[in-house]
Amino acid sequence: MSKAVRKYLIAGNWKMNKNAAEAVDLVKELQLEAGDQFLVSVLVCPPFTALESVAGIIEDSSIHLGAQNMHPEPSGAYTGEVSAEMLRHLFVTFVILGHSERRQYFNETDAFINTKVLAALNGSLKPIVCVGETLEEREAERTLEVVSSQVKGCLEGVPEEKADQLVIAYEPVWAIGTGKTATPEMAQEVHALIRGLLKEQFGEVMAERIRILYGGSMKPDNAYELLSQEDIDGGLIGGASLQARAFLKIMESARALSS
């Protein structure tokens, strides 16, 4: 089977940037150039406070809306948290889970992320499950071991019939926001490992349908090469997703590889 079964997903993780008005301005710019194309899936993940405003302006376009986190419980006494149902109510369809910043600053573990992944799937959201090694782990040649254990831990108990809703994002921690990117070969090696794990868990046909994104200083000038790798099916983009021009250029690389 080939890469052609998977549509590229170009996703912007805006992190804690842009208030609602700024978010609307950015999405309007994206919409002008990307809002009516269907060759590549385009996703924006603004902060919670901008979801509703952004949802209101992308409703007639092909741009999808994602959140950056959620709580696994459907409701209750969890101050400061939001549930899958609350997100879906705002027309959110994707949710980033287990980002390395949440692992690092909020002590999220694979087991906790796993509860969120299962809750997202139950709540009809597509989880973007983030994995990736730190610099220390890479230097100790533990990358494959660390990523394997994260993938297995985060995906435990995912029912096979829902696996095609999953997206995995490989984000080497040392490449996030640093300007250092994994070489296409380094990234492909880990993506192939992840595809292998997905095959073991869900079978070959399903594993070929699941998109695996690369994240970590993806920019217009390195996107084409990264995206041309066999198992790289898109990007989870931080810094470069905050400027319409840069984000659209990355999307153009995916489009060029799709046609």
The residues annotated with a catalytic role in the active site are: 99, 171
Neighbours of 1 (CB within 10 A): 10
Distance of closest approach, residue 99 Cβ to ligand 13P, in angstroms: 6
Token digits of residue 179: 């300007």
Task: Draw the binding track, 139-168, toward ligand 13P (x: CB under 6 A; -: no contact).
Answer: ------------------------------
Of 73-81, 156-164, 195-203, 212-220, the segment contacting ligand 13P by CB under 6 A is 212-220
CA distances from 60 to 37, 41, 65 (A): 12, 15, 12
Contacts of 254 (CB under 8 A, 6+ apart): 8, 10, 40, 223, 227, 234, 235
How many residues at the interface with ligand 13P, by CB under 6 A?
A: 14
Residue from 26, 187, 198, 236 binding ligand 13P (CB under 6 A): 236
Residue closer to ligand 13P, measured from CB, 46 or 238: 238
Report the amino acid identity of residue 216.
G
| Residues 70, 85: Cα–Cα separation, whole Å | 10
| Options 218, 232, 248, 251; binder of ligand 13P; rule CB under 6 A | 218
We find the least distance from the C-beta atom of residue 191 to ligand 13P, in angstroms, to be: 16
Q: Contact with ligand 13P (CB under 6 A): which of 108, 110, 171, 231? A: 171
Alpha-carbon distance of 244 to 249, in angstroms, equals 8
Q: Which residues pair with 65 in a beta bridge?
A: 44
Among 47, 66, 184, 238, binds ligand 13P (CB under 6 A): 238
Binding to ligand 13P by residue 216, rule CB under 6 A?
yes
| Least Å from the CB of residue 79 to ligand 13P | 25
**67 near ligand 13P, rule: CB under 6 A:** no
- Near ligand 13P by CB under 6 A, which window of 52-60, 75-83, 156-164, 232-240? 232-240
177 is an interface residue for ligand 13P by CB under 6 A: yes
Sequence-distant (≥ 6) Cβ neighbours of residue 251 within 8 angstroms: 10, 34, 40, 42
- Residue spans of alpha helices (H) in the chain: 20-34, 48-58, 84-89, 100-105, 110-122, 135-139, 143-155, 184-202, 204-209, 220-227, 244-258
Least distance to ligand 13P from the beta carbon of 109, Å? Answer: 19
Site residues for ligand 13P, window 95-134 (CB under 6 A)? 99
Helix, strand, or coil (residue 203): coil
Comparing CB distances to ligand 13P, the nearer of 99 and 126 is 99
Backbone phi, psi, residue 81, to 5°: -105, 165
Judged by the rule CB under 6 A, the positions of this chain that interact with ligand 13P are 13, 99, 171, 176-177, 215-218, 236-240
